Structure 1
Amino acid sequence: MTSKRIVPSQTMHRTIALNRNENPPKSGRFSTLKFWEIAPFFKCPVVGICLTLSEQRQVLKKAGVSPKGRSPFEIHELLVGCSDNENRVSKQVDRLLNRKFRAEITPLLELNEKVFIGQWASYFHGGTFVGAFWAASIKPDLSAEARGRIFGDVHMSMHGNVEQDARFKRQLALYGEEAAKMREKAREATRSRKTLQKENAKLQKNQENLLNRLASDKKEMVSMTETLASVKAAAGTEELEREIERLGEDLVDLMETIKVKDTRLADFERKNRQLSAALVKQKDANVSLQNDVEMLIQGAFRGDRCDDTCPSYNLCQKRVLMVGGITKMASLYRQMIETRNGIFEYHDGYMKNGAKNLEHRVRRADMVLCPINCNSHAACALVKKLGKKHKKPVRLLPSSSLNAIGEAISGKRDIYASDN
């Protein structure tokens, strides 16, 4: 945090010493300067870069100065202001920095100026220059030219960090908005899943009632059949014949009733299967949305995210066709592709309108993405076939998440690539 602060204007005037060719006094071959003896233009960046905010507070506490109620800028200015002479604060700063960077600065202080500048360039471009910067500040035998070069590197780096920090905050705000939208979609999916579960439980209860009634009707039919058989065996009188005829009509009515109930039971079972399948699909979509929310938030804080400086970032107006996936996430797919200077096209993967439309889109695409977890086997097979036919690269993704799509278009994952 402190390494990104711009050098305050009141201390920037101290860089006038760069033009005076003044070298600090030497006190021996490997002796070092104290914090209050280093070049004035080094003092502000040394405090801002070499000490973290917690270490700055620690210095003030040990020197008997309370940091409570002081802003980071006020603490910084206080430490810089105490660097003009030897005092409790400046001695604490000197002691802490020498102890913190002892292992790094010891070999550097023994180098001559030419070798030291070469090592400084290596550390600076590698981003590990904090210890080397302290060594340069207290090394008494560096020329004014060498000190000016080192100060210039650090000064311009601090300007660049401010711009980078602003860009990161803009991206973080965008990620936060997208994450909020996806969390709301996840909550909607959860509500839908609970509604489906309640309806499914109600259908199961109705099915159980129908099965019980059907079993009761079948028992009654068996009883009536046995009664009819006994009546037929008992006597052949006219009254008995009429009774038999009546029982036969009742039996036909009962069989019709059972047939109607069997039809209703089959309808309930079919609807129950459809709702169960929809519930499973909704659960999968909910899990995928939740995973995307977590990866989106984590990506906002990773230092290795892909941006416009990455070689794999720019799609150079390539047309990317997405077949299948979660339809509600199509806008997020489009944003990812178009942000990387690509042209996005989407096909939901359903073949109800025939394969001609899909083939036309594959033929004019530069790359085809096909998540296997949100497509039928027939759709995946057709995409691979059309890719081979028209010599188009096809990526079969293990999931329809934004992370899987990002890795596919950047070339980081290719294990499901179709052979074209």
Structure 2
Amino acid sequence: MLPAPLVTSNPTSADTSQDNDIPPAGRIVAACGCTPSLPLAQARGSRRRRLWELSRHAHCPVVGVCLPMAALRRLVDKVLGGKTLATDYDLHCGINNECRQRGRIAEAVEKELDRRYAPTLRQARSLKSTDALAAWWREQTGGRDVPGALWATLSHPRCDVVLEETVLSDIHMIQHQCGAADRADLARLDALQQENEVLARELGAAQRRWTQQSADHARLAEAQSAQLLRLRAELLGRDTLIASLQEDLAALEASVPALRARDELTRQVASQIERLQDLERALLRTRHELERERQRANEAVQAVEALRSQAGRPTSSEAPATTEPEEALADRAVLCVGGRPASLPAYRRLVERVGGRFLHHDGGEEDKVTRLASTLDSADVVICQTGCISHDAYWRVKDHCKRTGKRCLFVDNPSSASLRRALAALAPAAPQPQDEEAARPP
């Protein structure tokens, strides 16, 4: 019976009137307002056994296994019309006592059991013998619906005393196994909770890193978008400038007739000038070869005259032969244009030996061609070594000497011997190269 101090209820007048007809031994508590239990009925034929018809040892596993405590509390609160204050253990014991005899609580518990396990009861209804019921029970103990099989087996009309004891012993061991399994599950649950905490911390750190990376990527994407906009603006500006320049070019071509033809003529003139310069250089090489031949002839004549003078035969050319080059180059500036840098000291000695002042310009190799004009102005005589000067320097030297009337000797081979022969040619007895150069066609 439910202890009176742990239960509160709001009994109706009908319930109070019925209390006077209930014997003291069959009442729960006056405050509970429950009806007295009925005498135990015997199961006969095919009628299922009622809850209060089971043995007194069967109520504890049926109530404890088949119904959760929350469902029991709601059931008692509904039947008594109040709020149950008893603990889970007291409530369990009280309901077990009430299920031993027929009453409102026992009927409500049986009705709840039939409602919860109706499919299992329909399945067990087809069993027509105790052996079949026992085999079915053994099969159901390995499944998931053990509570439904327990109620269906104990309430089955073919469940005898031996099968009932077997079922109760099996459910007792199953409860022990469930307790051990629950303890193992709790241990696993604790381990899983610890692992979950570790994973939660790692997940939080990963989420923070992801958030930071997302922010970095967002900033990078924003910067790239801004750069893309700038590049597009620059590209648009460039395209606009190109279009404007094309329009200006078209307008310029329209304003100047035959501009393309003039440009083509300009290129042709430049090509002709280059070809003309090539021809002049070839002509100059030919003249240099002729000059060398003349010099060789003069040297041969001088050698013959020297032999005659040694033999005591005076000639008309004795007086000029005795003339030294120093008399012709004394205190005169001799400009050497071109020549090898390693030969410059020898050039200087040759010029100073004949009494001249040595000036030099490399012909545009390292010295600037624009400085050649001032150097030409300072020179009295020019010796141009054409084999190692630029075209521009060659034409500048030639034009300057032609305009100023300065003597200019062109030497094809840049060597000390060629320079010595050129200095000897500057003597009064030697032929005048300037006259020959002036006599040559331009």
Same fold (TM over 0.5): no
- Per the normalisation by structure 1, the TM-score is 0.41
Greater RCO (Cα-Cα under 8 Å, separation 6 or more) = 1
What's the TM-score, normalizing by structure 2? 0.39
Tell which structure's C-alpha radius of gyration is larger.
Answer: 2
